[in-house]
Homo-oligomer: A and B are copies of this chain.
């Protein structure tokens, strides 16, 4: 049984951006079988698992926009003008804990792991990967 840690760095180019990080994660895994904690170290971003279909990724963006208004008079906007980005992160969560099999994420056929930028563009977004297994 062993522990393995990695840090994945990303630059984002838009306010909202959903980036498939599946293959970047797979390239880093050395442990054969176990679990991986995927954690974004930013409170205006999220980690999610779903299907990588370009139309669906646009639907995700409009869905979040419908649930969390950009226009509301938020308290946090008096300090930093990004309350709606935090609220989207709060709903989606900044972590996923997933299975590893044969040194790869053990996902279903139609699943990818995504980093969701909710307050970009930003440089040097950091995602912590911690793997435990055999």
Taking Cβ atoms with an 8 Å cutoff, the residues of A that contact B are 1-3, 5, 33-35, 37, 39-43, 48-51, 53-56, 58-60, 63, 66-69, 74-76, 78-80, 83, 86-87, 89-101, 106-111, 126, 128, 130, 132-134
Contact = CB atoms under 8 A, between A and B. Distances in A.
Q: How many copies does the complex hold?
A: 3
B83 A59 contact: yes
A128 B43 CA distance: 23
A49 B95 contact: yes
Contact of A108 (B1, B86, B111, B126): B126
B110 A128 contact: no
Given A1-B2, A108-B126, A110-B43, A75 B56 contact: yes
